C-alpha cells in the first residue's frame, strides 16, 4: 500500500518537458493525488538539462529530484503502463535524505 500522504514532507522537483508523454503521465498522477511538487522544464530553464544529465548520467525524462539531493526516475519503462503509482511512492520515500 502506498503512503502518498508521506510525500508531503518531501521537496519534489520534477524535471521534464511539455512534449514528453511520460512527463504528462507523471504530472497527471501527481495532480490526481494532490502531491505537491514544482516543475523544472528542461527546455526553458537554463542549465536544467545539463544538471539532469550531469547528475544522473541520463538524458531520459521525467526525473524527480527529492529534497535537492537524490534522483528518482519518474517513469517505469519496464511496465506496459509506464508508471506505477505505488512503486513511485516507494521509490520517492526511499530517496528521502
Write down the pLDDT at residue 59. 86
Mean pLDDT of 80-87: 92
Mean pLDDT of 65-77: 95
Burial (CB count within 10 angstroms: exposed 0-12, middle 13-18, buried 19+), residue 56: middle
The answer to whether residues 3 and 93 touch, using CB atoms and an 8 Å cutoff, is yes
pLDDT band at 95; cut points 50, 70, 90: very high
| Best CATH choice for the domain 4-94 from the list 2.170.130.10, 3.60.15.10, 3.30.465.10, 3.40.30.10 | 3.40.30.10
- Say yes or no to pLDDT of 2 above 80: no
Query: Length of the chain, please?
Result: 97
Write down the pLDDT at residue 76. 93
- Average pLDDT over all residues of the chain: 94
Mean pLDDT of 73-92: 93
Please state the domain extents for the chain: 4-94
Dist. CA 33–CA 72, nearest whole Å:
18
What proportions of the chain, in percent to the nearest 5, are helix, strand and coil? Answer: 40, 20, 45
Amino acid at each position: 500500500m502506498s503512503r502518498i500522504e508521506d510525500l508531503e514532507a518531501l521537496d519534489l522537483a520534477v524535471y521534464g518537458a511539455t512534449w514528453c508523454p511520460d512527463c504528462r503521465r507523471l504530472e497527471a498522477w501527481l495532480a490526481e493525488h494532490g502531491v505537491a511538487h514544482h516543475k523544472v522544464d528542461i527546455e526553458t530553464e537554463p542549465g536544467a538539462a545539463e544538471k539532469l544529465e550531469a547528475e544522473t548520467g541520463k538524458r531520459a525524462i521525467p526525473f524527480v529530484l527529492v529534497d535537492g539531493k537524490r534522483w528518482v526516475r519518474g517513469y517505469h519503462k519496464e511496465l506496459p503502463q509506464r508508471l506505477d503509482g505505488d512503486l513511485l511512492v516507494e521509490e520517492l520515500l526511499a530517496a528521502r535524505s
